[in-house]
A and B are shown apart, each in its own frame.
Chain A
Amino acid sequence: MSELAPAIEVSRLVKSYGGVVAVSDISFTVQRGEIVGFLGPNGAGKSTTMRILTGYLPATSGSVTICGIPVATHPNEIKRQIGYMPENNPLPEDMRVSEYLYFRGRLKEIPRRKLGPRIDEVLEVCDLKRVRHKIIGQLSKGYRQRVGIAEAILAEPPVIIMDEPTIGLDPHQILIVRDLISSLRGRMTVIISSHILPEIEMTCDRVLIINQGRVVAQGTPAELRQEIFGHSTYELELAGDLAALSPVLFSVEPTLQITEQAGPHADGFQRITLTTAREDELGDTLLPALLSAGYRVRGLTRAHPTLEDVFLAATRRSWDAVVPADRLAHLDSKPDPSGTVAR
């Protein structure tokens, strides 16, 4: 129950369903007030991990603590620490919005006299005031999704777990949900899973990518870019003698290399792709160096791999690592030392 304990601590978590391993040896820590995105292809084990975090499913092995309380031995205390929105957001069809929130508030042990004002507050925050007396079954998808979010934050728990909160929403509603989640930053710990990668990149402080039940990458989006690609990329459009370019580049940064070149165009300009191991911005030293060497430059941009690229690379990397190992095991030959899973 210590105030200093991390919000979520998962260590060597394993879950198997009748012989099929859904989650295999996952470990991660989420600090208080952090917003963490959980990424992974379908069937990677995201929902299973989230269900174990809530105490709804028991783990096969490993340990999970929420705010310092172990989930396996104190399931009832855990349920007071979390707000959970399951996958597909199941809601009772024949209740009114305010009735539903009142019922859930009572179950979550919010005192009766505080419950009314708190319901008004979450209805306001989630922009649900207009539909408070409507029957949930008649609401549109966007409203239903927001009812689910309102329910998750209702009791102001320290940890909020949302399984695909933005699925099926239009861009305007995604914006509202994103602002809503951002507004919780610092006050509550939020862990969300999503397929919409720009979404995660904009809202989350940190990203966990899992594939086939394993954590394949974790860190801030910038760290992941660095870790997965290991280099920065610049795109340059210039005219001049290319043979003399390499020494110029070397003088700016020894690791700067030409990896691709296209052209030259009719006007003499060429498009060149450069990569470097340096993470910091090189543009302001590169540009004067090129100009003083007599090159004519009309474009210099730093290419930002999107989280999508990181995600695809990370999951592909884990597939590559897993498949040969599986195949070798299947053939009953000696295991390949390179067949270990990345990270």
Chain B
Amino acid sequence: MKHILTLLSHEIRMLLVSPATYVAATLFLAFMGLIFTKILEIYSSAPQELSPAAVYFQLFWLPACVMVPLLTMKCLAEERRLGTIETLLTTPVTTTEVVLAKFGAAYFLYVALWLSTSGFFVILRTFSGEAWFLDAGPLLGGFLFIAVSGLLFVALGVFASSVTSNQSVAGIFSCVLLATLILGGNAVSDSAWLAEGALRPAKAAIEYAHVFSHRDDFARGVIDTRHVLFYFSGTVLALIFSILSVEAKLLHA
């Protein structure tokens, strides 16, 4: 594990010098800014129960499904396509270090982008002069949810990138994986047919993995260790599969 810092700093550096990162970041901030403005318009027309922060994080799934594939699709697929994975793995580094460094760099960027949107709230607080708009509870809960769930989302993106050498395929695959996880659980959790008989354990599992309910808990300030464990174990599993996938491609090259 002694090369992880070298690899991680290299990966972050490569992300920061790549124009694609800035295009993605600009689109992300523009889109989030638009959502924020819409929220403010609603708040200015009628009084609302929830703080703007709580509403803001409700739409987390859209950037998660788009940004995560954009940030991760390149990481392992590109190395394999160019063949640089061969030069990388013939130095004294392990596959685990390579995958963890790729994951770390993409996660760092994902969280950094989300954190930069906290500027919206600071601007709102400054111009409105009302402390209520900068309600620390939902804001912190929301960011914590983003940070914890981001682990799993980014790990899934890295996994998608590890199974193919084609960036577009990796991007689409991770988009599908994330949409299934985030929106799929939401879509079937209300289905009545799941509540009957033999399917009851399946319903319990789907409820356990229901990302939207996790978000609501976090935003209310409830930090359930079961949720945290869900994301952590999922992350570890996705990363193990990514490492195995990179190694399996060598074994069966």
Q: Which residues of A contact B (CB under 8 A)?
A: 17-18, 51, 54-58, 76, 79-80, 82, 84, 86, 88, 90-95, 103-104, 106-109, 151
Q: Is the CB of A103 within 8 A of B10?
A: yes
CA separation between A88 and B90, bound complex, in Å? 15
Q: Is the CB of B91 within 8 A of A56?
A: no
SS class, residues of chain B in contact with chain A:
helix
Q: Is the CB of A104 within 8 A of B91?
A: yes
Contact of A90 among B14, B83, B92, B93 (CB under 8 A): B83
The minimal Cβ–Cβ distance linking A222 to chain B, given in whole angstroms, is 34
Given contacts A86-B86, A107-B6, 4 further A-B contacts (CB under 8 A): A76-B94, A106-B3, A107-B93, A108-B91
Which residue of B has the minimal Cβ distance to A92? B84
Say yes or no for B82: interface residue by CB 8 A criterion.
Answer: yes
CA separation between A54 and B89, bound complex, in Å? 9
The minimal Cβ–Cβ distance linking A231 to chain B, given in whole angstroms, is 43
Contact of A18 among B7, B10, B91, B252 (CB under 8 A): B252
Q: Is the CB of A90 within 8 A of B252?
A: no
Q: Is the CB of A57 within 8 A of B82?
A: no
Neighbouring B residues of A93 by C-beta, 8 Å: 82
Say yes or no for B225: interface residue by CB 8 A criterion.
Answer: no
Say yes or no for B44: interface residue by CB 8 A criterion.
Answer: no
Neighbouring B residues of A57 by C-beta, 8 Å: 250, 253
Q: Please provide the 3 A-B residue pairs with the shortest distance between their CB atoms, ordered closest to farther.
A: A90-B83, A107-B91, A106-B6
Contact of A79 among B6, B14, B92, B253 (CB under 8 A): B92
Q: Is the CB of B18 within 8 A of A94?
A: yes
Which residue of A has the minimal Cβ distance to B85? A90
Contact of B3 among A91, A92, A94, A107 (CB under 8 A): A107
CA separation between A54 and B88, bound complex, in Å? 12
Neighbouring A residues of B94 by C-beta, 8 Å: 76
CA separation between A76 and B91, bound complex, in Å? 8
CA separation between A93 and B19, bound complex, in Å? 13
CA separation between A107 and B89, bound complex, in Å? 10
Q: Is the CB of B17 within 8 A of A94?
A: yes
The minimal Cβ–Cβ distance linking A93 to chain B, given in whole angstroms, is 8
**A–B complex contacts, Cβ < 8 Å, 16 sampled:** A17-B252, A54-B90, A79-B90, A79-B92, A80-B92, A82-B90, A84-B90, A90-B87, A92-B14, A92-B84, A94-B14, A103-B6, A106-B3, A107-B92, A107-B93, A108-B92
The minimal Cβ–Cβ distance linking B15 to chain A, given in whole angstroms, is 11
CA separation between A12 and B151, bound complex, in Å? 46
Contact with A along B1-32 (1 / 0, CB 8 A): 01100110010001001100000000000000
Q: Is the CB of B82 within 8 A of A90?
A: yes
Known: A54-B90, A104-B91, A107-B92. A88 touches B83 (CB 8 A): yes
Neighbouring B residues of A17 by C-beta, 8 Å: 252-253
CA separation between A80 and B88, bound complex, in Å? 13
Neighbouring B residues of A103 by C-beta, 8 Å: 6, 10
